[in-house]
Structure 1
Amino acid sequence: MNIAHKEPVDTSASKRNTWILTVAQAFGGANAPIVISLGGLVGQHLSPDPGLITLPVSLLNLGLALGTLPAAYVMRRFGRRRGYLFGTMIGMISGLIAAAGIILSSFVVFCLGTCMAGFYSSYVQSYRFAAADNATGAEAQRAIARVMVGGLIAAIIGPQLVIWTRDAVPGTAFAGSFISQAMLAALAFPVLWRLRAPSSQKSKGITDAAERPLLQILTSPRYLLAIASGVVSYGLMTFVMTASPVAMVGHGHSIDQAALGIQWHILAMYGPSFITGRLMVRFGKERVAAIGLLLIGCSAAVALFGFDIAHFWGSLLLLGIGWNFGFIGATSMVADCHTPAERSKVQGANDFLVFGTVACASFFSGSLLHSSGWEAINWIVLPAVALVLVPLVWARNKWPASLN
């Protein structure tokens, strides 16, 4: 049974907040692409062990995973707006610390900065849920997709800042890129200041009496499938994307080509958001998520055909589109699994499990790339896709009501 009960809808406030969150997503969403584009490359210069070159990216995802539950608590206790403003301050500090690590040639300091960037991303990732707070049904699905459109702008801003600012600090490559990361977080602060959301759940008349224990929610097949869809969609995307810049450079392509490949990939991640909401309304969340997983499998097949730039970029494009359908579909599935009182802990638990897996995937990606090569990474994608695709297709036929 669909249990996603919502508060009465204030349409004008919902639309206003959606636009604010979309702009904030454009600034905050560029945080991760900067780290992902440069983390492995900076790691090559600073890391004492070749097996740790992707550790900065892994720590980004670890920080994201570890930050989800504290971020959920902060927003539950103090409200979305105050929580997001606090998150932007973390984002500013993280960029400056990462830049200092590069300037000081300290791998540890650089990794601390990327880990803090993950804490900032734990707030940014919840923008998609915030958009659906005061919407219902099809409108909630569209609101989630609209906020993700902000990532399309982030896809342009992030990699281009890498190219434009990488030599901004004389004699220290890439430090300027992380200073620009801090500046983007600063720009998000006045935008989020205008967000008008409840100061806390209790201020909306939502009490703990309406809540089920988290363990009971975790045993729900619908919620488990939603988590699994998000884990595999995001985990596999990160698993491949983390290794791709290093793999491209290792196969004779330039740093600029690697950065542009990530840019096209992130454009593909967020570009379909213009239509993903409508596709979910028309065909159902589970079906859209299943198509996303199929596209992720196709991206691995393209990568296995060769090492030309066309193979890398083609694979990354399919991977991005697949992530969009898979992850947004999974997000909408999660939004159907809780009452308003359960919102923070259910969303926080989902993001903790998703991004905890993502952190492990990004770390394993670097080690596997170093030990076994690019092909091994892509061969692993295929069985992982099948593991979730089968129950997702089964659920599409078993739970027709979930498509409404």
Structure 2
Amino acid sequence: MMSINDEAQAIKSQPTWLQNYIDSPEKQRQLYRRTLIIVVISQIFGGAGLAAGLTVGALLAQDMLGTDSYAGVPVALFTLGSAASALLVGRISQHFGRRSGLATGFLTGGLGAIGVVIAALTNNIALLFASLLIYGAGNATNLQARYAGTDLANSTQRGTAISIAMVSTTLGAVAGPNLVDVMGGFAISIGVPALAGPFILAAAAFTLAGLVLLVLLRPDPLLVAKAIEELKTDGDHHNDKKSSKLAINKRGIVIGTTIMVSTQIVMVSIMTMTPVHMGDHGHGLRAVGLVIGFHIGAMYLPSLVTGILVDKIGRTAMAIAAGGILLASGVLAAIAPVDSLLVLIISLVLLGLGWNFGLISGTTIIVDATNPSNRAKIQGTVDVLIALAGASGGALSGIVVAHSSYAALSFAGGIFSLLLIPVVIWSLSNHNRYFLKKWSIQGKSR
């Protein structure tokens, strides 16, 4: 317990700029809004970098390796790289702020994209795989940027703050796949294989995203939030209640992580093999770019509405809706005629929408369950599990399709997502009813 003199000394020890934000709720609100604007700008570039590479990653590996069996390996490596990077970005953010962590991640992803281009140019498989691991840093950072806007948000703003960061990714994410042909032509004109063209775009986009954050994200919202939280904690004399709160946080973290991991496995598995499935049945790069563009648009574009729904009708309802939508997507993809571009688009749109519901509801639960003193570190760890789930789904998807069919993979994904519904209901209604009620009361009181 700190004495009044100790607390006064702690306040005086803060830098003047930081103390100004601690003392002024209005400055905190202004910084919250400014942070969202900067995150929006960086996410537009980040989305283009992510989507461009994802669209042709499997096709590039298929072309270089000469087989479908390992077509899922690029996404697996990409997501493994995301896992390692998520941990690193989370640790850097926790110690040095969001600005340092996110800028480092995006710039590293840009280097990875450059490596992929060089690998395609030299037909170097080892370099391709190593570069895809590094390229995954861009994906990890793109996802972790969704947390930046929540650092100064209250409990009734968190879902919306997450969704604003995600919806801003849509512009770049939709443009990326639809520039596949353009970038392919540009690549050929400079003597680079066409399939490496989108990675040229990815290199430029990730680098720009990193520079935007590095230059503009000042003051750092997480550092301000941590300083505010530390003063509150120092003045809290109820240690028993604090211990109880920590137990509540652990349960929320487990539930939020389960939701996001489940939806990630289903989404990555089906998405990874869709370009290969289309290519095997005569669809060209333009058609592939169109389908993946719609899919990625559905992953991010509904976010603004999704965040509001998460804040208004609850985390649980939206998580259950995610399971139902993913089921519909898997079944539709399984029964879709191979020559029907429209049905494929609809199934991939549903796949993106279900992922969106699951990610935003799960992310909001994680934010609810953490505080600024541990938030970035825990968020990084959770995103590691999400990335590993994606890596598993990506790696296994190629094997399943090679030994069975795309329809079998899609149907299995739908059934797996169906299992999410009873898990969420059981976890949240039987074991966490009190905690959800408390979150609801806190939200109404703010």
Shared topology, TM-score over 0.5?
yes
Whether 1:118 and 2:139 are equivalent positions in the alignment is: no
Q: Name whichever of 260-269 and 54-63 sits farther off.
A: 54-63
Which of these residues, 256, 281, 292, is aligned with residue 311 of structure 2?
A: 281
Summarize the Cα distance change of 1:203–1:133 in structure 2 as closer, same or farther, 3 Å threshold. Answer: closer
- Percent identity, aligned pairs only? 27
Q: In the aligned structure 2, how far is the partner of 1:281 from the partner of 1:76? A: 26
Q: Name whichever of 49-58 and 325-334 sits farther off.
A: 49-58
Summarize the Cα distance change of 1:276–1:70 in structure 2 as closer, same or farther, 3 Å threshold. Answer: same
Does the aligned pair in 2 maintain the 1:269–1:321 contact within 8 Å?
Answer: yes
Q: In the aligned structure 2, how far is the partner of 1:110 from the partner of 1:390? A: 41
Gaps of 5+ in 1: 1-6
Does the aligned pair in 1 maintain the 2:151–2:222 contact within 8 Å?
Answer: no
Any idea what SS the aligned residue of 1:36 has? helix
Match of 1:247 in 2: 277
Summarize the Cα distance change of 1:190–1:333 in structure 2 as closer, same or farther, 3 Å threshold. Answer: same
Match of 1:341 in 2: 373
Summarize the Cα distance change of 1:189–1:348 in structure 2 as closer, same or farther, 3 Å threshold. Answer: closer
Match of 1:371 in 2: 403
**Cα distance, 1:202 vs structure 2:** 9.7
Any idea what SS the aligned residue of 1:341 has? coil
Match of 1:329 in 2: 361
Does the aligned pair in 2 maintain the 1:66–1:356 contact within 8 Å?
Answer: no
Match of 2:227 in 1: 204
**Cα distance, 1:157 vs structure 2:** 2.3
Q: Deviations over 1:60-89 (max 9, x none)?
A: 111001111111111122211122222232
Which of these residues, 210, 217, 221, is aligned with residue 195 of structure 1?
A: 217
Q: In the aligned structure 2, how far is the partner of 1:203 from the partner of 1:374? A: 47
Q: In the aligned structure 1, how far is the partner of 2:395 from the partner of 2:421? A: 24
Match of 1:299 in 2: 329
Match of 1:3 in 2: none
Any idea what SS the aligned residue of 2:419 has? helix
Match of 2:384 in 1: 352
Match of 1:186 in 2: 207
Summarize the Cα distance change of 1:40–1:126 in structure 2 as closer, same or farther, 3 Å threshold. Answer: same
Summarize the Cα distance change of 1:173–1:358 in structure 2 as closer, same or farther, 3 Å threshold. Answer: same
Quick check: which has more Rg, 1 or 2? 2
Amino acid in structure 2 at the alignment position of 1:53: A
Task: Report the RMSD for the aligned CA atoms in angstroms.
Answer: 2.5
**Cα distance, 1:24 vs structure 2:** 0.8
Any idea what SS the aligned residue of 1:166 has? helix
Any idea what SS the aligned residue of 1:133 has? coil
**Cα distance, 1:363 vs structure 2:** 0.8
Whether 1:135 and 2:157 are equivalent positions in the alignment is: no
Amino acid in structure 2 at the alignment position of 1:282: K
Amino acid in structure 2 at the alignment position of 1:276: T
**Cα distance, 1:156 vs structure 2:** 2.0
Whether 1:173 and 2:194 are equivalent positions in the alignment is: yes
Summarize the Cα distance change of 1:325–1:15 in structure 2 as closer, same or farther, 3 Å threshold. Answer: same
Match of 2:261 in 1: 231
Q: Name whichever of 291-300 and 374-383 sits farther off.
A: 374-383
Does the aligned pair in 1 maintain the 2:249–2:370 contact within 8 Å?
Answer: no
Any idea what SS the aligned residue of 2:185 has? coil
Q: How many pairs does the alignment contain?
A: 396
Q: Deviations over 1:340-379 (max 9, x none)?
A: 2121222122111111111111111111111111011112
Alignment of 1:44-123 (within 5 A): 44-47=62-65, 50-123=68-141
Does the aligned pair in 1 maintain the 2:90–2:377 contact within 8 Å?
Answer: yes
Does the aligned pair in 1 maintain the 2:79–2:387 contact within 8 Å?
Answer: yes
Match of 1:149 in 2: 167
Summarize the Cα distance change of 1:237–1:202 in structure 2 as closer, same or farther, 3 Å threshold. Answer: closer
Q: In the aligned structure 1, how far is the partner of 2:114 from the partner of 2:53? A: 13
Does the aligned pair in 2 maintain the 1:167–1:174 contact within 8 Å?
Answer: no
Match of 1:4 in 2: none
**Cα distance, 1:386 vs structure 2:** 2.7
Q: Deviations over 1:238-272 (max 9, x none)?
A: 11101111011112222211111000001111111
Q: Name whichever of 258-267 and 198-207 sits farther off.
A: 198-207
TM-score (norm 1): 0.91
Q: In the aligned structure 2, how far is the partner of 1:272 from the partner of 1:230? A: 17
**Cα distance, 1:201 vs structure 2:** 7.7
Q: Name whichever of 376-385 and 223-232 sits farther off.
A: 376-385
Amino acid in structure 2 at the alignment position of 1:360: S
Which of these residues, 230, 250, 253, is aligned with residue 220 of structure 1?
A: 250
Summarize the Cα distance change of 1:187–1:38 in structure 2 as closer, same or farther, 3 Å threshold. Answer: same
Amino acid in structure 2 at the alignment position of 1:52: Y
Gaps of 5+ in 2: 1-21
Amino acid in structure 2 at the alignment position of 1:183: A
Match of 1:272 in 2: 302
Q: In the aligned structure 2, how far is the partner of 1:34 from the partner of 1:101? A: 17
Amino acid in structure 2 at the alignment position of 1:255: L
Amino acid in structure 2 at the alignment position of 1:195: L
Q: In the aligned structure 2, how far is the partner of 1:393 from the partner of 1:112? A: 41
Q: In the aligned structure 2, how far is the partner of 1:48 from the partner of 1:245? A: 15
Does the aligned pair in 2 maintain the 1:128–1:147 contact within 8 Å?
Answer: yes
Q: In the aligned structure 1, how far is the partner of 2:426 from the partner of 2:75? A: 35
